[in-house]
Amino acid sequence: MTAGDEEQEPDYRFSLANERTFLAWLRTALGLLAGAVAVRQLVPEFGVPGARTVLALLCAALAVVLTAASYPRWKRVQRAMRRGEPLPPNRMMLVLTAGILVITGFAVVLAVTG
């Protein structure tokens, strides 16, 4: 281990905040998954054949991406805090924002067009 790689235990409050953020990502993914199931099982068919399935798959896909990225993100932040380094950039914010924008836009178009 080089001098720049020395790790120290961060203030427990920062570790707990990082953990809460990780759990919030997982809750968001679970919400998206629940939305996918609800759309597929409870929403009446739209005028466009298969649109309900596509909307559910978009929600489920975003949930998978979010779940897959949440633990590595937690680990990178924890390592940076232990090493006293700057926190790594969070690209998932852009992915989540864009994904929800696409899902919302698709849902609005389906609702308006029937």
Averaged pLDDT score across all residues of the chain: 94
Q: Residue 1 has what pLDDT?
A: 47
Which residue bears the tokens 């994904």? 99
CB 92 within 8 A of CB 66: yes
Q: Model confidence over 57-113: pLDDT tens digits?
A: 999 999 999 999 999 999 999 999 999 999 999 999 999 999 999 999 999 999 999
**Does the pLDDT value for residue 114 go beyond 90?**
no
Q: Residue 58 has what pLDDT?
A: 98
Sign of CA dihedral 68, 72, 73, 75: positive
For the record, the structure tokens of 52 come out as 């309900």
Rounded to the nearest 10 degrees, how much is the dihedral formed by the CA atoms of 46, 66, 97, 90?
-170
Q: Residue 89 has what pLDDT?
A: 95
Please report, for the chain, the start and end positions of each structural domain, with discontinuous segments joined by +.
10-113
Distance CA 45, CA 55 (A): 11
